[in-house]
Every structure is written in structure tokens, then in C-alpha cells.
Amino acid sequence: MTTTIEIDGYLERKLDLLVGLGLYATKSEAVRDAIRRLLEQTDITKIALDMYLKGMVSLGFCCEIADLSCDEMLALLQRRGLKPKLGVESLGELESEVKAIESADSLLFELLPLAVLGRYLKLDFVSLSEKAFFIAEQQLDEIPFDTRRSVLTLLGGDESRLSVVKGVRGAEEFAAKNGLSIGEASSVLSALKIKALLISDDQRVRDIARISGCAVASSVSFIVYL
């Protein structure tokens, strides 16, 4: 992707001077170097955390712009004594979500629940229920390697009820508009496309999904259902 930057007047004269002095071969090179220096001096992780704690972006989006894995971001929050905004907030909400899962025919799993169920709890949840399970194609890129390996193994089975939802459009625009990672946005749009209940723990993802007309439940609710 190419970004065009318009520069004229005072700034352009300064760039011409830098090139004329031989410090840079071209004005484009000078601009690239200036942007690189700006990014190096900016605490992007702090900015990402501030946006997340204010509820402006999801944890996945926060990880994207800070260039950290989900595990690294959760560890960073823990070190700073900060609580991630995840899961259900009340027993009543938990009970409501369990009922929603019971009545749903198909479930689509977002990144965090997959990590919790497949990696930390070692649950072969696909074999524990008769429901159809799905994952968004673009979400696969954001899943930790060991969890992705397990998911791909399940996808390769002849009788597997875990399928990938493909062909979802507009994920990048939806992500940018709502402060989600592309994988999270793809999960919401995929769940809407196939009319599945979305299993998600991130509060921002859950809120955006509900606003968009998608039913949502947390991984805790799914475990209780099992």
C-alpha cells in the first residue's frame, strides 16, 4: 500500500536544501527518514494502552499497533496492575449467554476464546458438542502458533465440524471504523454472514458485534454450557 504525502512551501524548500546538501538522494528518502525517526521517538505501546483502557479500541487492535502478541500485551497489563476488559460482567449475563449458546445451531470463535479453550484449557471442544463450529479466515493469521496448529489439524479431519468462513469483504474498513483488529472485524462480519453466535471475550468486540446485530457469548459461558 502506497501513501501519498503532499508537501509544499516552507517544508518543500527545506527538503530541497537537504537534498542539495547531499544528505539525502531524494526528497522521498528524506521524508521516509523523518517518519522513521518520529515513530522511533513515539511510545506507540503507551498510546495503544491508553486507547484500550479508554474503550476506544479492542485488545487485538492494541496488539496490532503496539506490535505485540496477545500474551505479551496481557503480561504488560498485568505488570502495570491494569485489568483487561474481558468476559462477562455479571452472573445474570453469564446465564443469559449460556441459554443463547444452547439455542444456537452454529458458533464462530474469535481469537481469545480459541486461545483459552485450545491452548490454556486443552479442550477439544469440537468433540464435546454437536454444534457446527466456525472460524473466520482472516482470524487464523492472528492466532498463536500452537493454537493455529491445533485448529489446522481439526480443519483437516474428514469428519470435522470446524470450518473456515471465507469470502468476507469489508473487514479492513470495518476494523478501522470500529477500533478492531482485522481478524476481529472479520470474525464479527463472518458471524453475521452465516448467522452464527460469536464466541468472544474482548469487551470492545462484544459491544461492536451486538450493535451490528450479532449474538455474542464469552468463552466462560461456553465452558459452563459444556
Determine, yes or no, domain membership for 3.
no
Query: Is residue 37 domain-shared with residue 135, that is, in the same domain?
Result: no
Looking up residue 115, the CATH number of its domain turns out to be 3.40.50.1010
Query: Is residue 24 domain-shared with residue 48, that is, in the same domain?
Result: yes
Query: Is residue 20 domain-shared with residue 104, that is, in the same domain?
Result: no
How many CB atoms are closer than 10 A to CB 78? 11
Query: Is residue 40 domain-shared with residue 141, that is, in the same domain?
Result: no
Only one residue has cell 501519498, namely: 4
Query: Is residue 52 domain-shared with residue 114, that is, in the same domain?
Result: no
**Of 79, 103, 118, which residue sits at a domain end?**
79
Query: Is residue 111 domain-shared with residue 170, that is, in the same domain?
Result: yes
pLDDT of amino acid 22: 86
Determine, yes or no, domain membership for 85.
no
Determine, yes or no, domain membership for 21.
yes
Instruction: Give me the average pLDDT of each 10-residue run along the chain (226 residues).
Output: 72 84 86 84 86 91 86 88 88 94 93 75 70 87 70 63 85 94 94 96 95 95 90
Determine, yes or no, domain membership for 4.
no
Residues 90, 94: Cα–Cα separation, whole Å: 6
Distance (Å) of CA 106 to CA 72, 103, 124, 130, 135 = 31, 9, 16, 9, 11
pLDDT of amino acid 203: 94
pLDDT of amino acid 162: 77
pLDDT of amino acid 196: 96
**Of 47, 79, 111, which residue sits at a domain end?**
79
pLDDT of amino acid 15: 84
Contact 178, 151 (CB under 8 A): no
Q: How many domains does the chain have?
A: 2
Residue 149, C-alpha cell as written in the block? 496448529
Query: Is residue 112 domain-shared with residue 73, that is, in the same domain?
Result: no
Provide the 8-state DSSP code for 103. Answer: H
3-state SS class at 33: helix
Range of the domain at 131: 91-225
Query: Is residue 52 domain-shared with residue 113, that is, in the same domain?
Result: no
Determine, yes or no, domain membership for 38.
yes
Query: Is residue 45 domain-shared with residue 108, that is, in the same domain?
Result: no
Helices (H), ranges, the chain: 9-20, 27-41, 44-53, 59-66, 70-79, 91-103, 111-114, 145-155, 171-178, 182-194, 203-211, 219-225
- Dmax of the chain from CA atoms? 71
Query: Is residue 126 domain-shared with residue 215, that is, in the same domain?
Result: yes
Beta pairing partners, 135: 164
DSSP string over 132-172: EEEEEGGGGGGS-HHHHHHHHHHHT-TT--EEEE-----HH
| Cα 22 off chain centre by | 44
**Of 79, 110, 137, which residue sits at a domain end?**
79
CA 202, 148, 152, 118 torsion-angle sign: negative
Determine, yes or no, domain membership for 26.
yes
CA nearest neighbour of 184 among 123, 215, 141: 141
Determine, yes or no, domain membership for 86.
no
Query: Is residue 51 domain-shared with residue 110, that is, in the same domain?
Result: no
